[in-house]
Structure 1
Amino acid sequence: MTSVPALAQQASAAGIDAEIVVTAQKREERLQDVGLTVAAIGANRLSEARVNSLADIALVVPGLVFAPSALTTPVYTLRGVGFNESSFSAYPNVSLYIDQAPLSLPVLSTLVAFDLERVEVLKGPQGTLFGNNSTGGAINFIAAKPTKDFHAGAELGYGRFNTLDVAAFVSGSLTDTLTARLAVKAIKSGDWQYSYTRKDGIGKTDNAAARLILNWEPSDRLTISLNANGWRNRNDPVGPQYFRLRLQNAVGSTGPAGSVPATLPILTYPFAPQNARATDWNPAAPPYLRSNLWQTTLRADLEVTDSITLTSITGYTDFNLVNRIEYDGTALTVGDLIRNTGGIQSFTQEVRLAGKLDNGFRWVLGANYGADDVLETGVISSRDTSNFPTNNLPGNIYDSDQHMRNYAVFGSLEYPLTPDLTLKGGIRYTEAHRRVASSDRESSDLSPPIATAFFNAVWSSLSFIYPNYRPIQRFDSFAIDNRLNANGTPLDPATYGTAGVYRSSLKEHNVSWSVGADYKIGPDALVYVNASRGYKAGSYPNLAAATWSQFEAVTQESIMAYELGAKTQFLDRRITLNAAAFYYRYNDKQLRAKIVDAIFAQLDGLVNVPKSTVVGGEIEATIRPVDAMTVNISATYIPTAKIKNYQGVSGVAIDPATFLFVPVRQSYKGARLPFAPKWQLSASARYGFPLMSNANGFVGGSVTAQSRTLSQPAITLADRRDFTIIGRAVFGLNAGLEDPNGAWKVTLWGKNIFNKYYWNNVIQAYDTVGRFPARPAEYGISVGWKI
């Protein structure tokens, strides 16, 4: 996607960010004084890198990996810790915030990255201050704030694929005590992908976003800030590229609903060419997306005394979505999400007291409450699949109604034992409650209406397994309770063998904690050591299933993390060099993996991986050899990110007694965690030079690179071949003219200038395996001005 450079900065035309101040510990402090690994990207660098989304941020922050999911829900993985789950209701491992207000679910972050002062990426568990669901880390978007003086600006850009983008802001005082800032952006483009079997196209961009911030200071001790932002997204989903045929059942296989014919259309369907723009889809049901978000946050800061501040942050978010997803990357119906709808209502409240004593002792005490209600419904069809129990069925509708409530109290302490040595610690107690109602039933959108009759016939024929089964009515849930205890007895004798709506609840609690020490070696050198434990709440999936066992939850996961780091500056702070090493013990990792449904065979589901390990290190350098030049280099190296103990599904077999599918399992010990490349690199350089009295020139370039990784753990050669995400190096360039005082700027830019073909995810959709390609080469021009 072409992006509008950030207009947030009121910085010098040299395009170099001043030394960054961050709020990683929920107070402002110099980045180099924070004993944590934090990647902070200022407004000018966001502009030069043309950052417009978290997908773009992942390109400039090594260790952070972005992947689109099958349902367009973004997946974020940080240092090998992530949750590759596409359900709207799935909490992330990397928590997201805007000005410390939670964006509790990943899909809510789609269009938040505009008019920003900076972005902070906190690496490692952040459970004590940022709460549950931050086992990988936390990302905080800091919006540009209102100014007392009047400022305004606009930027207009045009790029490849007829992309037109515009952004603008206005900021200033409304009264002596009230300031405001209004920012807007919009992007519109034509199709960037095409069908390789006919003349057709998809991939248009059409979105708009706005943010209003009001700051009111009724007294010297009280500040109240209102942040109201929203967006409208009509971007087409990325079309997958069909490149591998993996039949679930061989031609000629037979079962209760028929057999796999030799005329199955997918057997002769051509693979997509190795071109990012090539894809295919059902022309009668082209993919689309329509989503809207509105968020309001109210923050109040009251200085109770000169050394104690009371802070309240209240947030409400409303989100809705309707889309159609092309799963299989063909014009057939091997696996298509005909319609997917969803809604999210989220409320959050945090109250905290923060203080500092004369001896430098700092403390924070607080409490959190969060409520997330998520409704999601999908209509899926797989009539062209080799899965013979379903290849004669037009499709089905599955839904999930989930309600999550989270409660927490937390505190942190920092004590300067000596002028150079500071001890620190934090603790948080969390309770997470979740209840769900899930079902799978015949769809009124698809014909003929035979699904209910089919499942009544199947379940009735298995009376020796399910003697309590009673036929259901059309549009009732056909999912049957097949859950068993470890000893083979029914988990719930009252519902075992009956079909209906799956209802369940999950209540969990945990104690996150952190301890550490910071040691200053002079004014420009810091060494720190941290140990922390973080948790991520359990999760229920939303998926098509014939049995209740597929709807079951995964329980909470935890990480025990150890980190040693150093931050240094020298040569009059012209060189900044930071480094860190980390070791994670990863227990009960939540994984989107293949599970076996008795009727649908292999489906995506959720499992806990008992034990995993992550070991790595990273380095970051900023070099300013002259005032007008900045070089940024950062890299992450993770030699170990592997599973230690997990028996996973490697295939299916047919039970000869029941003709139902049963799993074939194997050990995944040693398999690498998904989206965890061994190394990642990001480097950029920018040089400005005078041309005339009223204009300076500038040139810049960037490269982002990473080694290959996998979209799911793989043991077999076939899995490693099919689910590999190749390594790549992607280059960008920019050059232009700007006013020495920052009043105007003209930029020529290019992204992925060598048109590198690569992909961000690989997903199996029944019989097909498809890649989700990254965008090809893009280039354009932008013109901006500010007053």
Structure 2
Amino acid sequence: MRYLTGVSAAALCIASTAFASEPSTDEIIVTATKRPLPLSEVAGSVDVIELGSQPGGLDRAEEITRLVTGLQAAVANGSQIAYQIRGIGAVDHQALTPGAAAVYRDGVLLATNVQTGFLLYDMARVEVLKGPQGTLYGRNASSGSINFVTNRPGTDAPSSLRLRAGSYDLLDVAGAFETSLAEDLAARLAFRGRLQGPVLDNVASGGFPAGSDRAAGETEDFGMRLSVLREGDRSTALLRLHYEAQKGTNPAPLNSALDLGDHEISVGNDGLQPRDNDFYGASLETTWTSGGWDMTSLTAFEGYAQNYGFDFDGTPAPFGIPSLNANLRYNRDYWQASQELRGVKELERGSLLIGLAASTDDFQQDYLIWCGRLDEATLLGSCTYVGAPGRVGPTPASPSPVRSLLTTIEQQRSTGALFASLQHDLTDRLALTLGGRLTAEDIDGEGFGIHLFEDGTRAFNDRDGLGDAVGSNSIEETRFTGDAALRYAISLRTNVYASVASGFKSGGFNGEVANNAGHYADEGLFGAETVIAYELGLRSRVTDRLRGSIAAFILDYDDPQARIFVPFTQPDGTTIISNSLSNLDAAGVRGLEIEAEAQPTDRLDLRASVTLLDTEIYQPFDGSSNAALFDGNPLPFASEVSATLSGRWLLPFAGDRFSIAADAKYRSDYQLDAEGLDERKQEGFTTVNAAFEAAVTDDLTFSIWGRNLSDEDYAVSGYGFIGTNTFRSAPRTVGMDLRLVF
């Protein structure tokens, strides 16, 4: 397990001893810069993690957060991931919203948060770029970029087969097989299948019996990827095809009103629904040289079909108690097509990168809420969903009871961008990086919200009598973002940096409950957010056994997108929470990061890092009663302190056949949303993971491992509805692996 870290053009200029010895020959090459660069020459903040043998392995993409400080993930609805980097990133559960941290797999943007919680298998590394990435990655990279890189044919990655068994009926099989099809043609097939029973306990509470344990979540995941590489004398072509499936059930949330123990929820069976998610895609990456330019073309198609739901209120209330009974289902279809073409030309004192990118996507969703048992033919619940009466308007379309709520939306997005980045050596020690990107975006959306009555009547929602919840709208924006950085080599081993960078995250439509006509009007949309980052930093290889970095940064955050939870009164006088994505006025982030990697002996590798954050929302009073709810609050999922410690020790007996690896991460308390309420705060906690590995032969290894050994129970996301509902972490899990390399 080897961790490779870097600091941004973000770095704190502190005193440092100059070392005149030659740089190490094992310099890390970073590819997320879209032109391979040694880490020491990167004018940007980068953490690079080799995904090899982390204790217990990594199951899903969001688990990289346990290895990187300043990186958090809100996990909603089981597998929808919103990443936060240095406190920046809207915590939102609707799939229509892109993340503030752009997530890429093999260079292909995964544009919705539904795609970003994918199963990990046959991965080489992940590169986390901290700070706005407005030049190379463009829109929706206002906090940074996370790049997952799979093993490609023709590398040193071996063919292998791994069997895993563990707690809660865990059975996990993964493999990768590579073969040469011809002298210049190689193929690699990788797969993973993972089965696990519920990891939470569904218990009785409030005098109501508990439903099935399956409501606590059940995993049936499968993934397969085929890569075919053709390498010619002057060109290469790499074709990738993948398919992943998520079956089983999504976990229900925990309602804050229930007095339960750790890793417990309490829901009935009425909201229990199977999960049926399918993801697929293909990409073709070609490289060639022409006229002194190194050219790269990446053509890609990604899509998914998704159908799942869960008990939305998080209580075990039986049928017929509408004030405590609400179930939710999503039915989504999405596809995206993209093309990027870029060229890199080496100059006398640097290099120039020029590129263009274009994409188009289509998103469709039906969002259904009901009470009790659902009639699939009529979409009627067996009782009245708690929020429905408040949305029918002052003159209901029918005297019969209203049962269910359905919101449908379709959105199309087209984008185009031109970008360029120049690296120029001003002197032998001083290098300049300049970059810019011009992005044009066109978003069209339409939809409606209806309530369904018991007698079959369907009518548009009209909460507060503001007009029927049906309409369409469009957003057209052209934005320029960019960066500038200076890097100075104090010595062959030590560099300092200074940079300024900007980025933006697109605005869009709220894809969930459409209450009235205002939902599709301009006031119902959310606008783009922007971030400008100023950073200073230092990176040094102090000796061949010690390297470190330190970075200080200030982020100006304008129009931050946030999910706003607003109470509204029902006709019977009761109150529930409605929510939508909106823009706050501004926020600020100040922080410091320190990272160190050491090899005290030939048998021991250590890595430590800490991120200190100070975040604050600026929401001056503007006549709105909501202003006071946000002003002065910290940003969501922005722990003031996060720290990691990890290492691997090759035991000093039996040759090199036994090793122990461990990692730990501390996160101080954080808010689940922007309102800063005590009931939506997660207290600080520490997670620990460890593994013992034994090489039985040169090709066969056996390991035992434990994850979350501290057995922490913490909220991974939450929302307001009837009280506060939170999705919970998995408890302590232990298991064993058997891995064969051939």
TM-score range, shorter chain: 0.7 to 0.9
Residues 1:311 and 2:283 aligned together: no
CA contact (8 A) 2:469 2:519 kept: no
Q: How does 1:399-414 map to 2 (within 5 A)?
A: 399-414=408-423
Match of 2:484 among 506, 515, 520: 515
Structure 2 match to 1:641:
615
Deviates more, 1:667-676 or 1:181-190: 667-676
Q: 1:449 to 1:78 in 2, by over 3 A?
A: farther
Shift of 1:213: 0.9
Shift of 1:675: 0.9
Q: Distance in 2 between matches of 1:537 and 1:625?
A: 46
Q: Distance in 2 between matches of 1:406 and 1:605?
A: 25
Residues 1:616 and 2:569 aligned together: no
Q: How does 1:392-403 map to 2 (within 5 A)?
A: 393-403=402-412
Q: How does 1:217-366 map to 2 (within 5 A)?
A: 217=231, 219-244=232-257, 271-276=258-263, 278-305=264-291, 307-332=292-317, 334=324, 336-357=326-347, 359-366=348-355
CA contact (8 A) 2:173 2:192 kept: yes
Q: Distance in 2 between matches of 1:738 and 1:649?
A: 68
Structure 2 match to 1:460:
none
Residues 1:83 and 2:105 aligned together: no
Q: 1:71 to 1:550 in 2, by over 3 A?
A: farther
Residues 1:448 and 2:437 aligned together: no
Match of 1:370 among 354, 359, 368: 359
CA contact (8 A) 1:72 1:86 kept: no
Q: Distance in 2 between matches of 1:59 and 1:303?
A: 40
Shift of 1:706: 0.5
Q: 1:340 to 1:390 in 2, by over 3 A?
A: same
**TM-score normalized with structure 2 length:** 0.87
Q: 1:70 to 1:206 in 2, by over 3 A?
A: closer
Match of 1:21 among 1, 25, 29: 29
CA contact (8 A) 2:313 2:327 kept: no
Q: Distance in 1 between matches of 2:28 and 2:436?
A: 27
DSSP 3-state at the match of 1:174: strand
Alpha-carbon RMSD across the aligned residues, in angstroms, is 2.5
Residues 1:161 and 2:133 aligned together: no
Q: 1:387 to 1:396 in 2, by over 3 A?
A: closer
CA contact (8 A) 2:713 2:731 kept: yes
CA contact (8 A) 1:241 1:272 kept: no
Deviates more, 1:180-189 or 1:596-605: 596-605
DSSP 3-state at the match of 1:288: coil
Shift of 1:500: 5.3
Shift of 1:44: 2.5
Q: 1:149 to 1:241 in 2, by over 3 A?
A: closer
Deviates more, 1:704-713 or 1:592-601: 592-601
- 2:337 partner letter: F
- 1:37 partner letter: S
Match of 2:42 among 11, 34, 40: 34
DSSP 3-state at the match of 2:628: strand
Residues 1:427 and 2:436 aligned together: yes
Deviates more, 1:283-292 or 1:119-128: 283-292
- 1:528 partner letter: Y
Match of 1:750 among 703, 706, 716: 706
Provide, for residues 327-380 of structure 1, a one-character-per-residue CA deviation record: whole Å limited to 9, x for no partner. 2111235363442100111111111111112x2321111111111110011111
DSSP 3-state at the match of 2:519: helix
DSSP 3-state at the match of 1:666: helix
Taking every aligned residue pair, what percent have the same amino acid on both sides? 23
Provide, for residues 466-491 of structure 1, a one-character-per-residue CA deviation record: whole Å limited to 9, x for no partner. xxxxxxxx435334797xxxxxxxxx
Q: Distance in 1 between matches of 2:623 and 2:180?
A: 61
Provide, for residues 191-235 of structure 1, a one-character-per-residue CA deviation record: whole Å limited to 9, x for no partner. 222321145302211100011111112x31111111111100014
- 2:57 partner letter: R
Give the paired residue count: 681
DSSP 3-state at the match of 2:275: strand
DSSP 3-state at the match of 1:107: coil
CA contact (8 A) 1:241 1:772 kept: yes
Residues 1:124 and 2:131 aligned together: yes
Shift of 1:714: 2.9
Q: Distance in 2 between matches of 1:427 and 1:209?
A: 37
CA contact (8 A) 1:732 1:751 kept: yes
Q: 1:150 to 1:480 in 2, by over 3 A?
A: closer
DSSP 3-state at the match of 1:234: strand
Q: Distance in 2 between matches of 1:609 and 1:714?
A: 11
Match of 2:601 among 620, 626, 644: 626
Shift of 1:768: 2.6
Match of 1:707 among 658, 668, 671: 668
Unaligned runs of 5+ in 2: 3-24, 372-383, 393-400
DSSP 3-state at the match of 1:120: strand
CA contact (8 A) 1:595 1:649 kept: no
Shift of 1:648: 9.2
Q: Distance in 1 between matches of 2:675 and 2:691?
A: 39
Q: 1:243 to 1:150 in 2, by over 3 A?
A: closer
Q: Distance in 2 between matches of 1:729 and 1:87?
A: 29
Deviates more, 1:744-753 or 1:590-599: 590-599
Structure 2 match to 1:186:
193
CA contact (8 A) 1:631 1:686 kept: yes
DSSP 3-state at the match of 2:559: strand
Residues 1:736 and 2:736 aligned together: no
Q: 1:369 to 1:480 in 2, by over 3 A?
A: farther
DSSP 3-state at the match of 2:458: coil
- 2:425 partner letter: P
Q: 1:386 to 1:42 in 2, by over 3 A?
A: closer
- 1:448 partner letter: E
Shift of 1:148: 7.1
Q: Distance in 2 between matches of 1:331 and 1:702?
A: 37
CA contact (8 A) 1:725 1:761 kept: no
DSSP 3-state at the match of 2:83: strand
Shift of 1:736: 2.2
Structure 2 match to 1:759:
715
Shift of 1:779: 0.3
Shift of 1:637: 0.7
- 1:376 partner letter: Q
DSSP 3-state at the match of 2:675: coil
CA contact (8 A) 2:680 2:718 kept: yes
CA contact (8 A) 1:70 1:327 kept: no
DSSP 3-state at the match of 2:731: coil
Match of 1:539 among 491, 505, 508: 508
Match of 2:578 among 603, 613, 618: 603
- 2:266 partner letter: D
Provide, for residues 497-555 of structure 1, a one-character-per-residue CA deviation record: whole Å limited to 9, x for no partner. 65252211111111001001111122211111110111111121112132122342111
DSSP 3-state at the match of 1:57: helix
Shift of 1:667: 5.4
Provide, for residues 296-337 of structure 1, a one-character-per-residue CA deviation record: whole Å limited to 9, x for no partner. 0111111114x4111111110120100012221112353634
CA contact (8 A) 1:611 1:646 kept: no
Q: Distance in 2 between matches of 1:424 and 1:477?
A: 54
Unaligned runs of 5+ in 1: 7-16, 245-270, 451-473, 483-496, 651-662
DSSP 3-state at the match of 2:66: helix
Q: 1:747 to 1:179 in 2, by over 3 A?
A: same
Q: 1:683 to 1:335 in 2, by over 3 A?
A: farther
Structure 2 match to 1:578:
549
Q: Distance in 1 between matches of 2:710 and 2:464?
A: 54
Structure 1 match to 2:218:
204
CA contact (8 A) 2:577 2:720 kept: no
Q: Distance in 2 between matches of 1:368 and 1:150?
A: 31
